[in-house]
Structure 1
Amino acid sequence: MSSTNELKEIASDDITCDPNSYEAGSGGFGDVITGYHEGLKQEVAIKVFAITGGPREKARLEKIIKEEIQHLLKADHENVVRVLGYVKWPFTMGIVMEYCKGGNLRELLLDTSKELSLAVLVRFLSQTSSAMASCHNLPGKRLIHEDLKPENIMLTEELQCKVGDFGSAELATYSTLATMNPLKRSKKDRPQYTPYYTAPEKLKDPTMKPIKEHDVYGFAMTIHMALSRKHPYPRGDQNRLLDAIMKGKRPDCQEIQDWMQTLVGEDREIAEQLQLLMERCWDQDPTKRPTMTEINIDLKKLLKKQNPESLRSQVSSVAREMVVNHPFNAESRVPLHYFSPRTGRFEVPSTSSSGSEEQTTNPTQGTLAQAQSPSRQVKTPTTSSRSQHTDSSSSSSTGVGRFLETTEESVRIITSLEYVREPIEGAQQQVSSSSHESHILTTSRAQQLDQSRDASNRGEEGAQTQTPLFSSQHIPRLVRTEQTGESDHFNQQILNYVELLKTKKYEEAKTIKQQISKSFESQPGVTAEDLEETATKLRDDGKNLETILLLSIAADFYVRKNPDIAAAESVVECAEEIQETIELLMENSDSSSKSRNREIVSDHVIPLMRDMIQQICDLQINEEIRLLGKVWCLNYIELSQYYIGDLASMETTIKLGIELMETNLGNKSSKYEVYGTLFNNLGVVCEETSRFKEAIEYFTKAIEVYKSAEDLTEEKRKKKIARSEMGLQNNIENMNK
């Protein structure tokens, strides 16, 4: 492949697939399906990405993926999986790559029934280091993998190594994904690191920018698996092990040393040099690790010591024993456009004897049965609830529109936090915590003035439809039962929950929530992801209280499933989604329901969000990560308090978050975006209560933090500083009036 190739879209009709055998596995960003490129006359693999959100979010993620593909096109190396282009579906994209039929290196190394000579192992390592050295030295932009491991080293039929799955890597040029704080990323944005192959400095600080030395550490662990033919660490307490790794623990090498004792002559010398290289590569101090170029030079020297004819014979012998994956039967393949990312399967219309298309049929053999499993399904996005429920407050309002700093770039929450004021007559009105009716705008003011609310989308409290919550319209696989009455039972429980909230019976509502949670637990296969997806669809239907219920239950599921850092991230995400839903609930409440909804949020929903903080506190994870999780949740609580007009409680919550960071992190607090966000929002509170001098102090502090925060892209840093500077200037003007 020429490095001058430009990024190009491949028509879905140019690729055909076997609908009965098409899944090749899954990677950091999505599932991989196999096909055949009719124009190039070669087999290909397509990594499918799920793109969620509204048009702006779709465009943002499309841009990121295209940038990644464009960069990968420059990795023109025989030992890097070639990228051919991309293919598109509505709201979904896929990267088209060459297909490696031999599986991956991990599978081969762990299959001890296959004898691998030292020469073959050195060849594997030499090819891998050659690929990574090339990627680390690309002109203009270096490519860092960040998840280098045997599973991401693919094999051809001829046993040639090809480094792949760069889809889960982060670009070293501080791309959007590389510098976002992992505790506030959405799932689709989080890099998929493998803990045991992750460098200790990255384990200590997940927000650390990618560096070449991280790949060198991953390569050391790959050497260990090659020499030991085992996983680097035995199963056990993951959190305890990761703490030990951060303090310097490395895999046991006793079995490798015992094996080396069985070698003689030059083979033993080569094995000993490999062990020394491995130990240099996993040095605790990243500055002491060799570069991939240096590693490749050393390995090429070791490879030259092998007899070429003998090595070719050994490679051919192993290749003959391998089970080569052939992706499909040529006679049964169909165009790729029949593949539905929504269902994760091919939906091919059957044809009647007259040649007309009848209903769509879904093959059920082979891997298609797996595609029905939640873990194998490629989800397709729903329309953003924000795009359906934009605020269009009357232009005659005398309230002051405010833009708070939030943390997600999704269109469903506040992404633009500029200080934009509504025109007002007379002097500025002081907004108290009891009469606060500010308008939180999400699109440009001109757009909003041209839009009007749909009366049917005013939330629960307007004309509530009686559509069953768990019909196929929402999520067909959530309730797995042949008993139709079971679905009715779920629906009735949730309707009871909402009714209890409306009648201020909050303790009883909490009891019902626990009962619903247990009911879901009794359903085999129901996951937290299912609940979160259903919540999104309910929110799109204007069922905001039901949405909050499912999100709080999803947080419970995440913690019970896997009480680690990933659970903390997911709980924070659920809290963020609840905050989004509260915003929608209040924006779309009519005059008769606003007071009641404000009380529901204050007395029931915010306590649920505080329970999420306790869930994070109970996790056995890194202290700094636990603290950041708590503070992000506090951030979403204070924003929720803003939406219900409780500025006094909002101020208390913000100050608690600031105190937590300063007490536990000291000067390190300024490393994190959320610290600046809290100060910015505190400035908003002070301005809205006419405390302009304090507002100036807090906006100034926010600007200082944003300038030093390490988890911000340069583009996002500029925007945040500009917003706080607007707030600062407005309050200086207010002081001078």
Structure 2
Amino acid sequence: MAGHTNLQEFEAADILCASQECIIGSGGYGVVLVGHKRVFNKAAIKVFSLTGEEGQQAEQQKKFLTEINSLVKASHENIAQVFGWVKWLRAMGIVMQYYKGGNIRQFFMRPLVQIEIALRLRMIAEICGGIAFIHNLSDGKGLVHSNIKPENVLLTEDLHCKLADIASVQFATIVGSTTHNPVNQKENQYNFYYTAPEKLKNPIIEPMIEHDTFSFAVVVHLILTCLLPYPLCETSVLINEICNGKRPDCEPIEKLKQTLDSKDRVIVGSIEKEMIQCWHHNASQRPDMITVREKFDRLLEKQNPSTVLQQVVNAVSQIDSNENPSTNQDQLIPLHHFSTCLGQFQEPTESSNVYDTLHKLSPSTHSEFHYGFMAESQPKAVQISDERRLVETYMKCVENHRYEEADAVKHLLVKMIESQGEVSPEQMVAFADKHRLEGSFMQAMLIYQISLDFYDKYSHLDGSAEGVMGCVGGLHLTGMGLLEDPRWFEFFKNKRIVRDFVIPLMSNARRRILNLSHVSAESRCLCEAWCLHYIECAQNRIGDNRAREETLNLAVVLLRKVFGDDAAKYQVYGHLLNNYGFVCTANSRIGDALTFYLKAVEAYSMAEDLTPEEKKERVERSTKNLQEVASQR
């Protein structure tokens, strides 16, 4: 990240990728692509997905930019350089320097490549230097990396180390990861080999620099042994063993020492001693990285620079020079065709028909189609091939409260869209958002329904739970749009549609999240809680206080069951408590209302996913509610 005081925004259309070869990494926090642009010739792009409705996405983007601009200060010779950022449909990316040397896992796991000791020492010292630097950023407050592993230590052509993926944990928390590797999903979005035992025991604890120190020690073990830290075994068993004190086997290091001369043996012994101290079970006993860096720097200063340089030459000469083949410029595709849901590029030629079909989901204003409605068992739409007429039929079904027939029409449209080519749920949701914002609420409702079917199709991919949650939020806002019609006769008709059709759609969508097996309990709980929040808000608009209280109670109990007191870290918990207070007030249960408003104030004050301004606003709102109810006693 050297040499930049302002990070640049790039246009996704200007960054070109080879669709079949561009994915160069896939970790717990996102996919990494390699792209080409005249400004930087070649760059790595770390991709994150934006989730939820457009308001949530705008907030995610705002927080994302705040985080990435904080990285401008991270200018250091052992930190990977960041050029800027890029945004496209439901996605954002960090544009970074591309390093031809790959990462140190690839480097040290190559068979038959001999890496000499002075070079290993230099690598360890440089990694240590990068970590020590970020730990002392922000006027000494420090930044925790939280994802140190061999894949996140990159190598230049002359084998200098660059620490990458800084703050990816924060970015993935703000937005979403784009990892589509089932192995990574099972590992709860972090590589447990390199994770401190206290973090394994409690994944949601606050990140600490001592966690990075532990991770660094396990990386050092790989550099010394050229082996993975632990033999393959059942994940839950190994995690339990690490939490109970198991560490990587040091026997290979002892065997290495036996092959070395006395000078190199002393170096390896010093590295091993520091490594063991850094992975101490008690976090408070782990040394700070500045102290560790100083020790390794002193060791490195004793080495002859010419010897280190020759060892670099020897190592590079053993590596296949054809590992980075040139890219055929004719095969390049703009970055904005990458789907974060599918985890792959969608060829422009394949998707053009899909977009044509999507745009036909707007009924013609001059349609001459007449509704001579409807057969007893099946809508006449079954015989209709025109997309717009199908949409008009769907709308008429909903308006006349024939919801099963509307669902049959929806299924026909799903099949029609699928026949036109590959389409992602994100494209569908973006199109639904567009219609809703334009006031085309019936069309938006239909497309959100279709989006949910597409999320079912891709339910095995990361981000599907958040996508379903976003559709529920979109349906909620669509229902609210219908109820804002100023004509009283339309209001009562639309109120029935919201009660009998929209809210059941939202509830069914929430149940889809329960069936997603690859989602962690914590993520599933949060997505469910947001869905229940949207549902109770819709129930409030139609005046169904009894159903609303049942929904609120279900959501609060769910959050408490999964998170305990930590539920207050999430703003949705505060929303639910505040709204519970409103229901109690409406039912003249003043004592209960005071309790819930007080809990809402406490929860908002502890919420970690609110900005200071938002937190202040929410606390003031619940405090005002509390004071108004207290005055009624």
TM-score, length-scaled by structure 1:
0.64
Quick check: 2:225–2:253 contact (8 Å CA) kept in 1? no
Quick check: 2:469–2:530 contact (8 Å CA) kept in 1? yes
1:366 aligns with 2:331: yes
Deviates more, 1:689-698 or 1:144-153: 689-698
Equivalent positions of 1:400-549 (< 5 A) are 470-471=358-359, 500-507=397-404, 525-540=422-437, 542=440, 543-549=443-449
Stretches of structure 2 that go unaligned for 5 or more consecutive residues are: 180-184, 348-354, 363-381
Q: Secondary structure at the match of 1:154?
A: strand
Q: Which string of whole-angstrom CA distances, capped at 9 and with x for unpartnered residues, describes residues 574-620 of structure 1?
A: 43343333333433585444434433443344334434444444537
Distance in 2 between residues matched to 1:270 and 1:507, nearest whole Å = 75
1:600–1:188 CA distance, 2 compared to 1 (3 A)? farther
Distance in 1 between residues matched to 2:569 and 2:196, nearest whole Å = 20
Measured after TM superposition, the shift of residue 128 of structure 1 is 0.9
Measured after TM superposition, the shift of residue 133 of structure 1 is 0.3
Provide the residue aligned with 1:309 in structure 2. Answer: 306
Q: 1:610 aligns with which of 476, 482, 507?
A: 507
Number of matched pairs: 582
1:516–1:286 CA distance, 2 compared to 1 (3 A)? farther
Distance in 2 between residues matched to 1:725 and 1:97, nearest whole Å = 45
Q: Which string of whole-angstrom CA distances, capped at 9 and with x for unpartnered residues, describes residues 107-161 of structure 1?
A: 3233335333343333222211111101111251423222223333222222111
Provide the residue aligned with 2:155 in structure 1. Answer: 155
Provide the residue aligned with 2:35 in structure 1. Answer: 33
| RMSD, aligned α-carbons | 5.0
Which one-letter code corresponds to 1:119 in the other structure?
Answer: A
Q: Secondary structure at the match of 1:162?
A: strand
Provide the residue aligned with 2:144 in structure 1. Answer: 144
Q: 1:721 aligns with which of 604, 619, 627?
A: 619
Distance in 2 between residues matched to 1:587 and 1:243, nearest whole Å = 53
Q: Secondary structure at the match of 2:162?
A: strand
Provide the residue aligned with 2:207 in structure 1. Answer: 210
Equivalent positions of 1:553-702 (< 5 A) are 553-561=453-461, 567-587=464-484, 591-618=488-515, 619=517, 623=521, 625-662=523-560, 667-688=565-586, 694-702=592-600
Which one-letter code corresponds to 1:581 in the other structure?
Answer: T
Provide the residue aligned with 1:342 in structure 2. Answer: none
Deviates more, 1:136-145 or 1:258-267: 258-267
Distance in 2 between residues matched to 1:491 and 1:198, nearest whole Å = 54
Q: Which string of whole-angstrom CA distances, capped at 9 and with x for unpartnered residues, describes residues 268-326 of structure 1?
A: 56556655654544455433433222332343355456554332212122234364898
1:728–1:268 CA distance, 2 compared to 1 (3 A)? same
Quick check: 2:145–2:212 contact (8 Å CA) kept in 1? yes
Distance in 2 between residues matched to 1:284 and 1:591, nearest whole Å = 68
Measured after TM superposition, the shift of residue 651 of structure 1 is 1.6
Q: Secondary structure at the match of 1:365?
A: helix
Q: Which string of whole-angstrom CA distances, capped at 9 and with x for unpartnered residues, describes residues 381-419 of structure 1?
A: xxxxxxxxxxxxxxxxxxxxxxxxxxxxxxxxxxxxxxx
Q: 2:315 aligns with which of 301, 313, 318?
A: 318
Q: Secondary structure at the match of 1:368?
A: strand
Quick check: 1:31–1:49 contact (8 Å CA) kept in 2? yes
Quick check: 1:201–1:246 contact (8 Å CA) kept in 2? no
Q: Secondary structure at the match of 2:111?
A: coil
1:688–1:226 CA distance, 2 compared to 1 (3 A)? same
Distance in 2 between residues matched to 1:616 and 1:10, nearest whole Å = 35
Which one-letter code corresponds to 2:136 in the other structure?
Answer: N
Which one-letter code corresponds to 2:330 in the other structure?
Answer: Q
Which one-letter code corresponds to 1:73 in the other structure?
Answer: V
Deviates more, 1:60-69 or 1:147-156: 60-69
Provide the residue aligned with 2:628 in structure 1. Answer: 730
1:250–1:640 CA distance, 2 compared to 1 (3 A)? farther
Q: Secondary structure at the match of 1:226?
A: helix
Q: Secondary structure at the match of 2:358?
A: coil
Provide the residue aligned with 1:436 in structure 2. Answer: none
Deviates more, 1:44-53 or 1:196-205: 44-53
Quick check: 1:638–1:650 contact (8 Å CA) kept in 2? yes
Provide the residue aligned with 1:123 in structure 2. Answer: 122
Provide the residue aligned with 1:550 in structure 2. Answer: 450
Distance in 2 between residues matched to 1:620 and 1:83, nearest whole Å = 32
Provide the residue aligned with 1:459 in structure 2. Answer: none
Stretches of structure 1 that go unaligned for 5 or more consecutive residues are: 171-176, 330-362, 380-466, 475-484
Provide the residue aligned with 2:74 in structure 1. Answer: 75
Quick check: 2:64–2:175 contact (8 Å CA) kept in 1? no
Provide the residue aligned with 2:102 in structure 1. Answer: 103
Distance in 2 between residues matched to 1:575 and 1:242, nearest whole Å = 38
Distance in 2 between residues matched to 1:84 and 1:44, nearest whole Å = 11
Distance in 2 between residues matched to 1:620 and 1:260, nearest whole Å = 41
Quick check: 2:346–2:422 contact (8 Å CA) kept in 1? no
Deviates more, 1:363-372 or 1:647-656: 363-372
1:677–1:54 CA distance, 2 compared to 1 (3 A)? closer
Distance in 2 between residues matched to 1:366 and 1:256, nearest whole Å = 45
Quick check: 2:570–2:607 contact (8 Å CA) kept in 1? yes
Q: Select the structure that is richer in helix.
A: 2
Provide the residue aligned with 2:288 in structure 1. Answer: 291
Q: Secondary structure at the match of 2:79?
A: coil
1:638–1:198 CA distance, 2 compared to 1 (3 A)? farther
Distance in 1 between residues matched to 2:66 and 2:394, nearest whole Å = 46
Measured after TM superposition, the shift of residue 168 of structure 1 is 1.9
How high is the sequence identity, in percent, across the aligned residues? 30
1:538–1:112 CA distance, 2 compared to 1 (3 A)? farther
Quick check: 1:106–1:150 contact (8 Å CA) kept in 2? yes
Q: Which string of whole-angstrom CA distances, capped at 9 and with x for unpartnered residues, describes residues 515-555 of structure 1?
A: 77788788875444444444434544522221330342244
1:261–1:364 CA distance, 2 compared to 1 (3 A)? closer
Q: Which string of whole-angstrom CA distances, capped at 9 and with x for unpartnered residues, describes residues 611-650 of structure 1?
A: 4444444537655554444333322221222233322211
Distance in 2 between residues matched to 1:318 and 1:675, nearest whole Å = 55
Q: Secondary structure at the match of 2:619?
A: helix
1:104–1:499 CA distance, 2 compared to 1 (3 A)? farther
Quick check: 1:579–1:640 contact (8 Å CA) kept in 2? yes
